[in-house]
Amino acid sequence: MSAAPESVSEPLRVSLVAIFSLFLQIGLFSFGGGVLGWLYREVVEKRGWLRDTDFLGGLTVAQVMPGINVTNMAVYIGQRLRGVIGSTVAVVGVLTGPFFFVIGLLMIYGQIQQISWAPNFMQGVATAAVGLFLSVGIKSIRKNIRGIGHYAVMIAIVVAVGVLRWPMVPVVLCLAPLSVALAWFMREKARA
């Protein structure tokens, strides 16, 4: 006799206009890594389109896949909400603003170079982006790392990649099976 499957909630039916609008806004008003913090707040906390675990699972895939993380997340979130058409609408939304912004910036690049405060402005924007990215990391740690073993794996990756400057892919490929085994062991232990 098999156990009853876990109940699966019906996915939200988010309009294509809402998906496009959110991703257009994010594409227009965001810089660098801070986009993921903003995207998390909008999709999980504010609108409730995805659960925390679904967003973080998508973020993991987006970071492993080639390409820009926010574009990968647009594909993931759009697909989760409305399938292929949702992915297409999300990607078009997130890329429309930057497309026209870069063209406009190219047209006035010579004048912007001469502005004395422009480097300070960009440094401030980069600092804010790092802060938003760190906030997503901290939220992820609080909600998903539950044992000393997972902290050990996380610290080992930070030390190996961040301090020792070892290549990220081999480090993750070596430590990911250990992390998965720990998660499986903890899940089995919780069931018992």
DSSP one-letter string for 98-115: HHHHHHHHHHTHHHHHT-
Q: How far apart are CA 85 and CA 101, in angstroms?
A: 25
Q: How far apart are CA 169 and CA 161, in angstroms?
A: 9
So what's the pLDDT on residue 120?
82
Helix (H, G, I), strand (E, B) or coil at 144: helix
So what's the pLDDT on residue 68?
85
Residue type, 19: I
So what's the pLDDT on residue 7?
41
Q: How far apart are CA 104 and CA 124, in angstroms?
A: 22
pLDDT per position in the chain (192 positions), as tens? 444 444 445 556 899 999 999 999 999 887 655 788 889 999 999 999 999 999 989 998 888 888 888 899 999 999 999 999 999 999 999 999 989 988 887 788 777 767 788 778 778 877 887 887 788 778 877 777 777 888 888 889 889 988 999 998 899 889 889 888 888 888 888 787
So what's the pLDDT on residue 51?
93
Question: Quick one: which of 72, 115, 135 has its CA closest to 80?
Answer: 72
**Tokens read off for 159:** 């030390």
**Tokens read off for 17:** 């206009």
Regarding pTM above 0.85, the answer is no
So what's the pLDDT on residue 4?
41
Asked if 126 and 32 count as a contact pair (C-beta separation under 8 A), the reply is yes
So what's the pLDDT on residue 10?
54
